[in-house]
Structure 1
């Protein structure tokens, strides 16, 4: 089983370069967070849902990702600040995705760095 230390983390500037060279951005925040603003051309698959009991893991996360992303694709994974993206990357690596990179700082860092966003 892969551990978090196996996850490659890059900053926003490196992530932007990866996206410019053909990687896809996988946004693992909730639909509400995504709808409030997201990285251009991002694919949205929530890793967790907000419920009355708090956040719960999306039981269909991997099947939903497999519908929109191929295992051989290069993916940049981001959430709001980085925690969910780390867990999502570990799950993706364990499921056979080989080129998974976590964007450190998440969407918060992306927006603060004045990168292009979709609102």
Structure 2
């Protein structure tokens, strides 16, 4: 049985922890903040301190895939460290959160509403 992209995202959202914008703004102790949007999206504005790992290469960045030069993202080297993921509206970050959970990360959260909700709350973004 085939599923639509929206159905897949809904399933991912049901299987991961979503965190609200105010909770992210208040801070998650020791968390790495990962923007899973594409580099051009990241450049247009991102959360302070966020690292950019596009959704399409996330798993390979974590596991040092040879196609990416065998480099591991150091911020994600410890799978017990809290991780907060976000994208534009929360779909890609939910998918990314599910993938990281499948890879053994213990404390992964997807920011509900993504950077769109962040900006609607009139919170600051950093431009590169």
CA contact (8 A) 1:23 1:75 kept: yes
2:30 and 2:81 in contact (8 A); partners too:
no
Partner of 2:19: 10
2:69 corresponds to which residue? none
Structure 1 unaligned regions, length at least 5: 48-57
Gaps of 5+ in 2: 1-10, 64-71
> Which structure is higher in helix share?
2
| 1:58-106 CA distance string (max 9 Å, x none) | 2x32121352212111011100001101110111100111100110000
Structure 1 residue runs of 4+, over 4 Å off?
none
Q: Determine which structure has the larger strand proportion and give its number.
A: 1
Query: How many residues are paired up?
Result: 105
**3-state DSSP of counterpart to 2:27:** helix
TM-score for the superposition, normalised by structure 2: 0.75
